[in-house]
Amino acid sequence: MDANAPDGRAGIDAALVERLIDAQFPQWSGLPVTPVEVDGWDNRTYRLGADMTVRLPTAAGYVPAIAKETRWLPRLAPSLPVAVPPILAEGAPGEGYPFPWSVRGWLPGETADRGRIDDMSQFAASLAEFIKALQRCDATGGPLAGAHSFYRGAPVRHYDEETRRCLAILGERVDSARAAAVWDAALATEWRDEPVWFHGDIAHGNLLVDNGNLAAVIDFGTSGVGDPASDLVIAWTFFSGESRRTFRDAVGHDEATWARARGWALWKALLTLTGCIDEDPVEAAAQRLVIDEVLADHDLFGGRQSLVD
C-alpha cells in the first residue's frame, strides 16, 4: 500500500515526538523517546518512557486508523483473550506534523518468531481463539469494510485487476494456470452471514509472544466489520504442517471462506513477488513458498468448496 504518499515517513523522528508531547501532553514531558526495535510501514512507533508508546501515521491514507482504534479498541478489549493496545490519548496535528496521532500503553512481549514459540500448534490454537473471540464481539455500528481497511473484509474481487496484472507480469515464472484457478475459486464465493469483526492484518509482526505464548495482538489499523477471510492468511504465511492443521480446525469456517482466504494470500504474495523477484531473492523465495503452499492447499481442499456453495 502506498496510501498516496511515497515520502510519508520523512520528517518523523524522536525529536518531533518530543515536541508534540511537550506541546500537547506536558504531563509526559521529559520522558525519553526512543524508536521501537521492530517498526511498521503504515505508522512510526516510539517508546515513551517505560510504559507508553507514541504512534504516528506515515501518510494520509493511514490516518483513519487513529480515530477507529481510539473508538473501538477499548470496546473490544474486554472480550478478547489476550491484550490489545490500550489507548491513553489522541494527539492533534502540530509542530509541522499534519496528522492525528496517539499515545498507547506499552505491551510487554516480543514480535512472534518461530524461535520464540515453545509449541507452534498451541500458538496456532491460541491465535484461532483470539480470532473467534474477535468475531463474537458485537459488530453493531462497527466500521464496515472499505477504504479504511484497504478493503480487507470486503469482497476479494476488489483486487481482481491487480492480481491478474501480476499474473500477466510474472508469466511462466509462477504456475499461472493453477494460480488463476485459485483466484477464480476465491471470486466464486462470498460471505453470506452477518458482518463480523476482523483484524485485517493477522501477521507474525502484529503478534507478541511472552514466555513462548501469545501475549498480545497489535495494529488494528486495517480492522473493521465484514468478511473475516483475510484473517486466515497466516495459515500459509506463518504456520505449516501440524500447526496449520491445528489452526484450520480450531478457527473453523467453511470451505468457501477458506477459498477466499487463499485468494487473499495469493493476491498479496503475487503483488509482493512482482515487486521483488529481480531485486530481492530472499524475499522472492519466501513469497514463492507462500504461493506454492496456497496452490497445494487448493489442490487438497478446493474441491470441497462446491459442497457448500
Q: What average pLDDT score do residues 266-286 get? A: 96
Q: State yes or no: pLDDT of 8 exceeds 90.
A: no
pTM comes to 0.91
Whole-number pLDDT of residue 1: 38
Structural domains of the chain, ranges and CATH numbers in brackets: 14-107 (3.30.200.20), 111-307 (3.90.1200.10)
pLDDT band at 113 (very low <50, low <70, confident <90, very high): very high
Q: Quick one: what percent of the chain has pLDDT higher than 90? A: 88
Whole-number pLDDT of residue 303: 59
Whole-number pLDDT of residue 22: 97
CA distances (Å), origin 65, targets 5, 100, 102, 177, 290: 16, 10, 10, 37, 28
pLDDT band at 42 (very low <50, low <70, confident <90, very high): confident
pLDDT band at 9 (very low <50, low <70, confident <90, very high): low
Pair 248, 235: CB distance under 8 Å: yes
Class of residue 193 by CB neighbours under 10 A (exposed 0-12, middle 13-18, buried 19+): exposed
Whole-number pLDDT of residue 33: 96
- Cα angle for residues 191, 228, 5 (degrees, 5° grid): 110
Q: What mean pLDDT is reported for the chain?
A: 92
Q: What average pLDDT score do residues 133-148 get? A: 97
- Amino acid (1-letter code) at residue 284: A
Sort residue 5 into left (φ over 0), alpha (ψ -120 to 50) or beta. Answer: beta
| Residue the block writes with cell 501532553 | 25
Query: Among positive and negative, which fits the CA dihedral 14, 63, 131, 160?
Result: negative
Q: Phi and psi dihedrals of 54, rounded to 5?
A: -120, 130
Which range (3-12, 14-23, 34-43, 251-260) has the least confidence? 3-12
Which range (5-9, 131-135, 179-183, 209-213) has the least confidence? 5-9
Long-range contacts of 72-76 (CB under 8 A, 24+ apart): 72/142, 72/143, 72/220, 72/223, 73/220, 75/137, 76/134, 76/137, 76/197
Whole-number pLDDT of residue 14: 93
Pair 212, 118: CB distance under 8 Å: yes
The model's pLDDT over 47-60, given as tens digits with 9 standing for 90+, comes to 999 999 999 999 99
HSE, side-chain direction, 13 A CA sphere, residue 279: 5
Q: State yes or no: pLDDT of 38 exceeds 80.
A: no
Q: State yes or no: pLDDT of 10 exceeds 60.
A: no
Whole-number pLDDT of residue 3: 40
CB atoms within 10 A of CB 270: 27
The model's pLDDT over 188-222, given as tens digits with 9 standing for 90+, comes to 999 999 999 999 999 999 999 999 999 999 999 99
Query: Among positive and negative, which fits the CA dihedral 75, 67, 92, 111?
Result: positive
The model's pLDDT over 209-262, given as tens digits with 9 standing for 90+, comes to 999 999 999 999 999 999 999 999 999 999 999 999 999 999 999 999 999 999
Whole-number pLDDT of residue 37: 79
Cell numbers found for residue 266: 495469493
Buried-exposed string 120-155: b where 16+ CB fall within 10 A, e elsewhere: bbebbbbbbbbbbebbebebeebbebeebbbbbbbb
The model's pLDDT over 72-105, given as tens digits with 9 standing for 90+, comes to 999 999 999 999 999 999 999 999 999 999 999 9
Whole-number pLDDT of residue 36: 86
pLDDT band at 41 (very low <50, low <70, confident <90, very high): confident
